[in-house]
């Protein structure tokens, strides 16, 4: 159990204490004891989170504010739903001699990683708004960290942020939520209605993703990742840009970033984004089975409320449990016993404050001895 959770062997003292916990019928306590080891944070959690922070799913990407924030949230038992909506950011603790957090580079986190400080003790919880200057109402957990912005607001039309958030936090890519029955009224001008001169391609393929994605991704209308295209093509010194109240983009005449109106001549009669109002068209049709919250309205303005919509779905909770299961058990769920256990752990996760450490503990207890 200890090696599954940390990748290292326990000391004799810890092993003895864990054995006593298990003998007394409390395998969860044994798992919690194992998670006190620094390797749980420095290795296990870092390996879980790092692929979420980049488009290639690279497990060896540098530590950044996205990764550190998730690890800190798990350490502090923060409601994991805040990963997509909270005004929350973890930085290196003061007094470590690190470069100050900078909106335009990753030096702070790379220095933290290079110094080898254990993340369990080296991270300090702060608010994004106080560190980055982003208005609190515009913060949306890891989606509005610099690391998240660099990966998914980079170039394009911000649809990448929605797609990768769906992949990383609901365990669904667009093909798995493909639904041609939703109305196409919010599909933007940059999507051809006759790709290759054949309208059937749009009706049977393109519409299936864009009809649901475009109304949701509109939540990101005021965000961009700014960088020097000529001298810094990978955006290493880029920064998140947000058009706050009263800021007008000259290309759109509104707060909407110019990138959202590119390629408008592809289909001039398509939807033109006027603001950051989003709507979840997937609350009806086959994707209603993602388990959307009955408490939330299914629409709103901005990334924060859209993040709440995603994070309060049943798919979000089950996705986290399934990812932990694969990591701890070293295999995918195989049979009805595994699936029933995932359902049970998911229920426990959602009923007890969305504590990811609890998911690790219950999963480790289930897979112990395999």
Sign of CA dihedral 253, 256, 259, 263: negative
Distance of CA 204 to the CA centre of its chain: 29
pLDDT digits (tens, 9 = 90+) for 9-37: 999 999 999 999 999 999 999 999 999 99
Residue 1 lies in a domain: no
What tens digit of pLDDT does each residue of 319-364 get? 999 999 999 999 999 999 999 999 999 999 999 999 999 999 999 9
Q: Are residues 77 and 213 in the same domain?
A: no
| 160 and 305 fall within a common domain | yes
Q: Is residue 326 part of a domain?
A: no
**Do 189 and 202 fall within a single domain?**
yes
User: Is the residue at 177 inside a domain?
Assistant: yes
Q: Report the Cα 17 to chain-centroid distance in Å.
A: 35
The string of DSSP letters for 207-269 reads: HHHHHHHHHHHGGGTTEEEE--TTT-TT-TT-EEEE--TT--BTTTTBSS-GGGGTTTTSSTT
136, 165: one domain: no
Domain closes at, from 87, 120, 152: 152
Same domain, 292 and 169: yes
Q: How far apart are CA 130 and CA 91, in angstroms?
A: 12
Q: Do 265 and 138 sit in the same domain of this protein?
A: no
Strand partners, 239: 226
CA pair distance 137, 298, nearest whole angstrom: 18
Same domain, 87 and 117: yes
Are 166 and 210 contained in the same domain?
yes
Claim to verify: residue 49 and residue 147 sit in the same structural domain = yes
Contact at 8 Å (CB) between 285 and 182? yes
In a shared domain, residues 222 and 254:
yes
Same domain assignment for residues 139 and 162: no
Place of tokens 């965000």: 223
Same domain, 135 and 91: yes
Last residue of a domain, one of 276, 311, 346: 311
Rounded distance between C-alpha atoms, residue 227 and residue 224, angstroms: 10
Q: How many domains does the chain have?
A: 2
112 three-class SS: helix
Give the per-residue pLDDT at 250: 97
Give the angle 25-15-3 at the CA atoms, nearest 5°: 95
Boundaries of domain holding 300: 156-311
Percent of the chain with pLDDT over 70: 100
Q: How far apart are CA 361 and CA 352, in angstroms?
A: 13
Which tens digits make up the pLDDT trace of 57-97? 999 999 999 999 999 999 999 999 999 999 999 999 999 99
């Amino acid at each position: 159990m200890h090696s599954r959770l940390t990748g290292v062997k326990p000391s004799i003292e810890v092993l003895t204490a864990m054995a006593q916990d298990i003998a007394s019928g409390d395998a969860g306590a044994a798992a919690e004891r194992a998670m006190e080891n620094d390797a749980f944070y420095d290795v296990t959690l870092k390996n879980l989170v790092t692929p979420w922070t980049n488009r290639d799913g690279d497990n060896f990407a540098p530590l950044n504010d996205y990764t550190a924030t998730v690890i800190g949230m798990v350490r502090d038992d923060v409601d994991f739903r805040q990963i997509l909506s909270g005004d929350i950011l973890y930085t290196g603790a003061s007094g470590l001699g690190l470069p100050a957090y900078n909106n335009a580079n990753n030096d702070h986190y790379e220095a933290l990683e290079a110094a080898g400080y254990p993340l369990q003790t080296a991270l300090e919880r702060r608010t994004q708004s106080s560190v980055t200057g982003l208005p609190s109402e515009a913060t949306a957990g890891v989606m509005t960290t610099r690391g998240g912005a660099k990966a998914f607001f980079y170039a394009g039309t911000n649809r990448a942020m929605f797609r990768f958030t769906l992949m990383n936090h609901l365990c669904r890519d667009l093909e798995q939520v493909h639904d041609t029955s939703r109305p196409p009224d919010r599909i933007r001008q940059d999507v051809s209605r006759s790709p290759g001169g054949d309208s059937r391609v749009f009706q049977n393929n393109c519409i299936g993703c864009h009809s649901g994605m475009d109304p949701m991704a509109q939540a990101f209308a005021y965000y961009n990742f700014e960088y020097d295209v000529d001298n810094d093509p990978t955006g290493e010194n880029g920064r998140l840009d947000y058009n706050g109240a009263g800021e007008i983009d000259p290309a759109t005449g509104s707060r909407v970033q110019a990138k959202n109106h590119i390629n408008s001549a592809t289909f001039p009669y398509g939807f033109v984004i006027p603001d950051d109002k989003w709507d979840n068209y997937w609350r009806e049709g086959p994707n209603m089975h993602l388990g959307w919250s009955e408490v939330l309205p299914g629409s709103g303005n901005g990334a924060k409320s859209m993040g709440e919509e995603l994070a309060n779905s049943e798919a979000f909770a089950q996705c986290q449990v399934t990812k932990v299961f694969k990591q701890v058990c070293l295999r995918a769920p195989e049979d009805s016993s595994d699936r029933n256990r995932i359902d049970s752990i998911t229920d426990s996760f959602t009923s007890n404050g969305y504590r990811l450490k609890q998911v690790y503990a219950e999963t480790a207890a289930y897979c112990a001895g395999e």
